[in-house]
Amino acid sequence: MAAYDFTAPRLHVTHDLAAGLRLPLERAQANYLLNVLRRGPDDPVLLFNGRQGEWRATLAATGRKSADLVVAERTRPQTPLPDLHYLFAPLKSARLDYLAQKAVEMGAGQIRPVITRYTQGERVNVERLRANAVEAAEQCGILAVPEVAEPERLPVALDAIEPERLLVFCDEDAPVSDPVAALRAAAGNGEAPPLGVLVGPEGGFAPEERETIAARPNTVALSLGPRILRADTAAVVVLALVQAVLGDGR
């Protein structure tokens, strides 16, 4: 049997979940299930709330355009949030949506917008970021929806990182070398430490910002190769590298 059931739609809900509960669908969810997906009475739906695992429910019509969900049984136990913090300079809205979704797919447990000198836009729609995180979790079988923080200035964000957390800093000026070897050397020979990833804006970090980041203990500057990548592309590349070498992709 497959680990996940991708044949049934998945919905994130805020309610507590337990067998026998009857939960009303929000209007947008009812429209999605009844009109977009054409689901009918007794069709299965998978529910999760980030606290109590995943549960199978069935649709029970209450009107032509409304329905309840009747919770039946738990299909998977709750998993903890991954201990990977993703810090990034916000981008324009469409690419920011993409970035948030990919960070969730790649196993980020915290999504933290960071305002730098060259950040393109300092106004960040945090609720939209959270909605994108939820949507990615729904589509990818993820049970623990990452926390989305309010934007912070770079110095404040750096001060909030625990000293023991290894911060992987994407630096286009770092020597072009083997990024896998650089990550392994930074982690040492013991177990992989808690991880953080920092990706800057399209214009890169200002010189004084680069110095501030590099001065933080337990930080490694990582080049992603000879090509300059867009910030959203760099995010996917570095998260894949970190997860493959030190994270849950080992």
Residue 12 corresponds to which tokens in the numbers above? Answer: 């994130």
Per-residue pLDDT tens over the stretch 37-54? 888 888 899 999 999 999
Higher pLDDT, 34 or 158: 158
The model's confidence at residue 176, banded by pLDDT at 50, 70 and 90, is low
pLDDT of residue 238: 92
- Per-residue confidence (pLDDT) for residue 64, from 0 to 100: 75
Task: Compute the average pLDDT of residues 218-238.
Answer: 86
Q: How much of the chain exceeds pLDDT 70, in percent? A: 95
- The CA distance from 234 to 99, in Å, is 10
How far is Cα 204 from Cα 171, in angstroms, rounded to an integer?
Answer: 8
Taking only the tens place, the pLDDT of each residue in 177-212 is 788 888 888 887 667 789 999 998 888 889 999 999
Report pLDDT for 28. 87
Residue 78, number of CB atoms within 10 A of its CB: 15
On average, the pLDDT of the chain sits at 89
pLDDT at 2 over 70: no
Higher pLDDT, 191 or 240: 240
Residues 6+ apart with CB under 8 A from 155: 212
Report whether pLDDT(156) > 80.
yes
pLDDT of residue 113: 95
pLDDT of the residue at 122: 66
Tell me the two tokens of residue 164: 């023991």
Residue 1 confidence (pLDDT): 35
Q: Each residue of 65-116: pLDDT tens digit?
A: 788 999 999 999 999 999 999 999 988 777 889 999 999 999 999 999 999 9
pTM of the model: 0.89
List the domains of the chain with CATH numbers: 10-76 (2.40.240.20), 84-245 (3.40.1280.10)
Quote the CA–CA distance of 61 and 214 in Å, as a whole number: 58
Taking the C-alpha atoms of residue 167 and residue 164, their distance in angstroms, rounded to an integer, is 9
Residue 191's pLDDT is what? 74
| Predicted local distance difference test score (pLDDT) of residue 143 | 95
- Per-residue pLDDT reduced to its tens digit, 127-150: 999 999 999 999 999 999 999 999
